[in-house]
Chain A
């Protein structure tokens, strides 16, 4: 079991009002799965991904990543898990505009003291090639199309060799054709490297590519299907 979410509630407080974002979520994700969290905007998909990604903590319940109950860990330990175990792909790509493709991909490795400079360069080149951007390696994000930018984000997420990649609406800012290409790319990597992918989407065409789909509505899981 790579991820286990047990009876998780997450509430946000807005002034005197408490807004429930997640209500008693239970799910488990196995290594190597290609999982989709589907639901309408505001249903709690991003909140769930943030909890699994150790970016946020639940109001109650347990979140396990591997053997560790991450909702009990310190900020330092969570940083380490995010750096070594989890890769992130964001809806808005979130690339650093002043860095080129190669440097953006290299960014998570800059603070990894356990990886030599040589290995760093090799990994960066390998994943840039894997996402098909070798020719654009020296381009800045502004010089790339939306699809190419998301490919850079995929390479950046993979360069640390994470067990789990979380992608929050990775196709939302792309046209449908490019969106499908990105999902295909993620799926190919999933198959080749056995990396577990969890991505959120509200697009039925995208969610159908997943091996497991979790439907979420108003913060509660509706059903799951393989």
Chain B
């Protein structure tokens, strides 16, 4: 017999208590996997929406542009410095060399007019062939900008309501330098960011340049899309070493209060985990304490025949560890199974949930959650069991033998 088989026999012999403890561990692991997947999906979706609709992974702009972040409403986009055609050519050469996905942009302010209705808007002119904005902008009606087209506009539903317009109608856009007639081809919202009051308006570069008065092909910035978000720093550093006379920012710096919102979500995850683990720890302390009380005679006998306090604590912890590993594995497997099953089913959401989660919510599974969840659950379980195990091991054998 080994200490492990002793632990297993004790687990089986005290199966009611063992099952109760196992159930706590199972539920904790299950909940942590499911809720973490949910929160991670929300933050990842929000992050992706921000990157694809507004910031890209890396933004290249004039060195004279002192912009705090792209979402700061106090910023007047019409007053931004711009990149000249020569600078844009140099940037394009560097980006093409690295085979990076990018688009030039013209961000400017304009007044949109339809009949007697008008509204102020922040216009983003981009190359319609770059389709990243499409994955962030959920269409309610119409279509996206024609890749080779011009004179088209995609409107946030809030602005469309203000102007009382619909797809197919023409509106007049008047910027500080010029005016242009634009056909509304699509109405929708940037998923999740509409919650933050971001009413996106996308048009093509040519039309935006007319509004901004960029007659020689200038642009306010170039946004670059890294192969994935984890490579943002690497791409940014590579470009910074190749490009001079421009300012580079990564999406975390330009995301403004949306990025703070993502941080709030992350804080909520940590708080949730802490609260859950405190509750579970209290339950485990109580349960192991009861196990110690129920096994007083066994502990007294073991102490009498020479087991030290350390031996008995280790015996308890070995039982708890065995239970924690087994039920944590089951909890993670069940949680992962549920998330994987749900990940194929898009949950269609209405207001107000769609503001936060998007119109259709696909929960994402990330296998990298397994190790931290297992580590947190097992560590908390063992830590919680330590004090009651020490208490049980400190019993006076004379007292227990007398009972």
**A 58-83 contacts with B by CB, 8 A:** 75-76, 79-80, 82-83
- The answer to whether A55 touches B398, judged by C-beta atoms less than 8 angstroms apart, is yes
Contact for B307 among A79, A84, A156, A160, CB less than 8 A: A79
CA distance A168 to B3 in the complex (A): 28
- The answer to whether A55 touches B397, judged by C-beta atoms less than 8 angstroms apart, is yes
B401 partner residues in chain A, CB cutoff 8 A = 50, 55, 90, 94, 168
- The answer to whether B302 touches A107, judged by C-beta atoms less than 8 angstroms apart, is yes
Is A108 located at the chain interface by the 8 A CB criterion? yes
**Looking across the interface, which residue of chain B has its beta carbon closest to that of A83?**
B306
- The answer to whether A98 touches B304, judged by C-beta atoms less than 8 angstroms apart, is no
CA distance A103 to B3 in the complex (A): 11
**Looking across the interface, which residue of chain A has its beta carbon closest to that of B305?**
A108
Residues of chain B at interface, number, CB under 8 A = 26
**Looking across the interface, which residue of chain A has its beta carbon closest to that of B15?**
A98
CA distance A107 to B1 in the complex (A): 9
**B 160-217 contacts with A by CB, 8 A:** none
- The answer to whether B304 touches A79, judged by C-beta atoms less than 8 angstroms apart, is no
Is A218 located at the chain interface by the 8 A CB criterion? no
Contact for A90 among B1, B2, B9, B301, CB less than 8 A: B301
**B 297-326 contacts with A by CB, 8 A:** 297-298, 300-309, 311
Is A172 located at the chain interface by the 8 A CB criterion? no
Shortest A55–chain B CB gap in Å is 5
Is B352 located at the chain interface by the 8 A CB criterion? no
A208 partner residues in chain B, CB cutoff 8 A = none
Is B12 located at the chain interface by the 8 A CB criterion? yes
- The answer to whether A96 touches B398, judged by C-beta atoms less than 8 angstroms apart, is no
Proximity string of chain A (162-173) to chain B, C-beta cutoff 8 Å, 1 when within and 0 when not: 000000100000
A108 partner residues in chain B, CB cutoff 8 A = 305-306
CA distance A58 to B401 in the complex (A): 18
CA distance A56 to B397 in the complex (A): 9
Contact for B1 among A76, A88, A103, CB less than 8 A: A103
The verdict on A84 contacting B304 (CB below 8 Å), with A96-B298, A98-B13 known, is no
**Looking across the interface, which residue of chain B has its beta carbon closest to that of A106?**
B1
**Looking across the interface, which residue of chain B has its beta carbon closest to that of A111?**
B311
Among B10, B304, B306, B309, which residue has the most Cβ atoms of chain A within 10 A?
A: B306
CA distance A3 to B158 in the complex (A): 95
The verdict on A110 contacting B304 (CB below 8 Å), with A46-B402, A103-B1 known, is no
CA distance A83 to B397 in the complex (A): 14
Proximity string of chain B (113-147) to chain A, C-beta cutoff 8 Å, 1 when within and 0 when not: 00000000000000000000000000000000000
CA distance A79 to B10 in the complex (A): 23
B3 partner residues in chain A, CB cutoff 8 A = 110
- The answer to whether A82 touches B304, judged by C-beta atoms less than 8 angstroms apart, is yes
A92 partner residues in chain B, CB cutoff 8 A = 297
A56 partner residues in chain B, CB cutoff 8 A = 398
Residues of chain A at interface, number, CB under 8 A = 31
The verdict on A98 contacting B297 (CB below 8 Å), with A80-B306, A107-B302, A110-B1 known, is no
- The answer to whether A98 touches B305, judged by C-beta atoms less than 8 angstroms apart, is no
Is A97 located at the chain interface by the 8 A CB criterion? yes
Is A99 located at the chain interface by the 8 A CB criterion? yes
CA distance A171 to B42 in the complex (A): 70
A39 partner residues in chain B, CB cutoff 8 A = none
Is A53 located at the chain interface by the 8 A CB criterion? yes
CA distance A88 to B397 in the complex (A): 12
Shortest A93–chain B CB gap in Å is 9
B307 partner residues in chain A, CB cutoff 8 A = 79, 83, 111
- The answer to whether A82 touches B9, judged by C-beta atoms less than 8 angstroms apart, is no
B397 partner residues in chain A, CB cutoff 8 A = 55
CA distance A89 to B96 in the complex (A): 86
The verdict on A82 contacting B306 (CB below 8 Å), with A94-B297, A111-B311 known, is yes
Is B375 located at the chain interface by the 8 A CB criterion? no
Contact for A98 among B9, B309, B311, B402, CB less than 8 A: B9
B12 partner residues in chain A, CB cutoff 8 A = 98
CA distance A83 to B298 in the complex (A): 16
- The answer to whether B9 touches A88, judged by C-beta atoms less than 8 angstroms apart, is no
The verdict on A94 contacting B9 (CB below 8 Å), with A55-B398, A110-B3 known, is no
- The answer to whether A99 touches B301, judged by C-beta atoms less than 8 angstroms apart, is no
CA distance A160 to B401 in the complex (A): 21
CA distance A99 to B6 in the complex (A): 8
CA distance A161 to B13 in the complex (A): 29
**B 259-303 contacts with A by CB, 8 A:** 297-298, 300-303
- The answer to whether B306 touches A98, judged by C-beta atoms less than 8 angstroms apart, is no
Contact for A76 among B13, B304, B308, CB less than 8 A: B308
Shortest B17–chain A CB gap in Å is 12
Give 3 nearest A-B pairs by CB, closest first. Answer: A83-B306, A98-B13, A82-B306
> Which residues from chain A sit less than 8 Å from chain B, CB to CB?
46, 50, 53, 55-56, 75-76, 79-80, 82-84, 87-88, 90, 92, 94, 96-99, 102-103, 106-108, 110-111, 156, 160, 168
Pairs across A and B, CB under 8 Å, 7 listed = A88-B304, A99-B1, A103-B9, A106-B1, A108-B305, A110-B1, A110-B2
Knowing that A82-B306, A99-B9 are A-B contacts, what are 18 other residue pairs whose CB atoms are under 8 Å apart, sorted by A's residue number?
A75-B309, A79-B303, A80-B306, A82-B304, A83-B306, A87-B305, A90-B304, A90-B401, A94-B297, A94-B401, A97-B13, A98-B9, A98-B12, A98-B13, A103-B9, A156-B305, A160-B306, A168-B401
